[in-house]
Amino acid sequence: MGLGALGLPQLVSTRVLGADGSPGASERLNLAHIGMGGMGGGHLGYMLARQSRGDLNVVALCDVDDNRLASALKSAGGKPTPYRDYRYVLERKDVDAVVIATPDHWHACQTVHACQSGKHVYVEKPACCTIEEGKAMVRAATGNRRIVQVGSQGRSQREAFLAHQYIANGMIGKVRKVTCWHYASPSDDHPVPDCEPPPELDWDLWLGPLPWRAYNPRYCPGSFRWMMESGGGQIRDRGAHVMSNALHFMDADHTGPVSIEAKGTLPTKGAWDTAIDMEVTYQFKNPDWTLVWAQPGEPVPYFDRDKVKREGIRESYGAVYHGDRDKLVVWVGDGQVYTELKAVNFKKPPGGVEVPHSPNFDHHQDWFEGIKTGRQTIMNIEAGAATAFLCVLGNLSLILGRKLNWDPVKQEIVGDAEGHRLMSRPQRFPYTL
């Protein structure tokens, strides 16, 4: 459909502000939402609230499930134009930016095509399912000068900033190890047979770039998470949050491990094939440190039990940062981030290390500021791909049953022909990069 031939809109200029300093009519972004499920509905609610303040316009909604699309359209007052196929959204020259909250296997294609169409992108995590997808996303964003924010929103949380500041100012000494914990993935203990898809679902479009297969209720909607090719399990879900913060705090977004070694248990029956339990060890060099992803690992209970109950804190995953003087615990890693009081109450000394944070600790606002100014966002696509690579490589090491060596500069598996081939996978025409 000639996506690359479409015109590229310029970055929004502050010169088009209204006389009172509020966004002028020509500065209000026209947004489209692709994927209206759980996270997609949450994003839409946020954007509709901003629309009510005159900050932006939600002009299009897209989903392959007619029921979800109808529900989203109703919540938006029936005003946006509904679509089933995202490619028609990208053809609209009045759409400035898109919010992508589809299943993981769609993230790369839709982000690349959106950037090629001149749209800025907010895409849910994990950024990609393969190494080559992540590289393609980076090339599309940089080559088309688009601002891409990946939805590991934990980086924008206030207590994530406070934990980062505490570590960056040397309060626990030099960090040599970060250990993450998370509960295990489920198994499909009661398989069901394939059947016809529900009438409201366009199954071909749901599969998109994946190989064709018959519909099964175990595949979607939310259960896509437990399929290796579409979801990747807990490591590619919550790992994309917890390990995102680890790379951020360790100033390692532009580096990578030199080796990855996984062990764990893969299912032996049913539709779901992601690891039930697993432990992955990543070794980094220059500086030397170790990152461990473990499900279940060794959970650390949150210190304030009343707060857990009062605020509904999900303390069942997080990370411990082990310094040579002390350690710091950071609980969860997405929409909620909590850390220890010593970090919360820490006052940065004069001349201390400044660490970045999103405006008002708002991940979406950080994206909007990036679009307005052209600066990199806190979870830009390079950082998002680097985090996703950790998740992908952990799964590949487990599947192959051996340690993998990684070149963080070339971003390639080295010395392992089979592993190198698994850095990419075929995509089903016409849903290709």
CATH number at residue 324: 3.30.360.10
Within-domain flag for 362:
no
Within-domain flag for 43:
yes
In angstroms, rounded to a whole number, what is the distance separating the alpha carbons of residues 375 and 365? 13
Q: Are residues 169 and 318 in the same domain?
A: yes
Q: Are residues 201 and 227 in the same domain?
A: yes
Tokens representing 44? 């839409």
Three-state SS at 34: strand
Q: Are residues 200 and 349 in the same domain?
A: yes
Q: Are residues 88 and 172 in the same domain?
A: no
What sign results for the dihedral spanned by CA atoms 342, 184, 242, 37? Answer: negative
Q: Are residues 68 and 164 in the same domain?
A: no
Cα distances (Å, whole numbers) of residue 361 to 253, 261, 367, 384: 20, 35, 12, 18
Q: Where in 154-231 does DSSP place strands (E)?
A: 175-181
pLDDT at position 304 = 86
Within-domain flag for 430:
no
pLDDT of 70 strictly over 80: yes
CA 253 to chain centre: 14
Lowest mean per-residue pLDDT among 35-49, 87-101, 328-342: 328-342
Q: Which residue has the higher pLDDT, 184 or 6?
A: 184
pLDDT at position 26 = 58
Location of structure tokens 């895409």: 123
Residue ending a domain, choose from 120, 154, 188: 154
Lowest mean per-residue pLDDT among 168-182, 274-288, 329-343, 353-367: 329-343
Contacts by 18-22, CB closer than 8 A, 24 or more apart: 22/54
Do residues 110 and 226 touch, judged by C-beta distance below 8 A? no
Q: Are residues 128 and 193 in the same domain?
A: no
Alpha helices (runs of H) in 185-331, residue ranges in sequence order: 203-207, 234-237, 239-249, 305-311
Q: Which residue has the higher pLDDT, 302 or 63?
A: 63
Nearest Cα to 228, choosing from 77, 105, 101, 354?
A: 105
Q: Are residues 221 and 78 in the same domain?
A: no
Q: Are residues 43 and 165 in the same domain?
A: no
Q: Looking at residues 18-42, what average pLDDT do you find?
A: 75
Do residues 123 and 111 touch, judged by C-beta distance below 8 A? yes
Location of structure tokens 């502050």: 14
Q: Are residues 29 and 123 in the same domain?
A: yes
Within-domain flag for 427:
no
In angstroms, rounded to a whole number, what is the distance separating the alpha carbons of residues 66 and 231? 22
Q: Domain residues for 251?
A: 155-355+381-421
Residue ending a domain, choose from 98, 119, 154: 154
* Model confidence pLDDT, tens digit, residues 79-129: 999 999 999 999 999 999 999 999 999 999 999 999 999 999 999 999 999
Within-domain flag for 82:
yes
Within-domain flag for 253:
yes
Within-domain flag for 426:
no
pTM exceeds 0.75 for this model: yes
* Model confidence pLDDT, tens digit, residues 402-425: 999 999 999 999 999 999 999 999
End-to-end CA distance of the chain: 13
Q: Are residues 161 and 141 in the same domain?
A: no
Domain count, the chain: 2
* Model confidence pLDDT, tens digit, residues 146-172: 999 999 999 999 999 999 999 999 999
Q: Are residues 145 and 192 in the same domain?
A: no
pLDDT of 223 strictly over 70: yes
Residue ending a domain, choose from 154, 178, 197: 154
Q: Are residues 332 and 230 in the same domain?
A: yes
In angstroms, rounded to a whole number, what is the distance separating the alpha carbons of residues 282 and 318? 17
At 275, the amino acid letter reads A
Within-domain flag for 376:
no
Q: What is the CATH number of the domain that holds 150?
A: 3.40.50.720
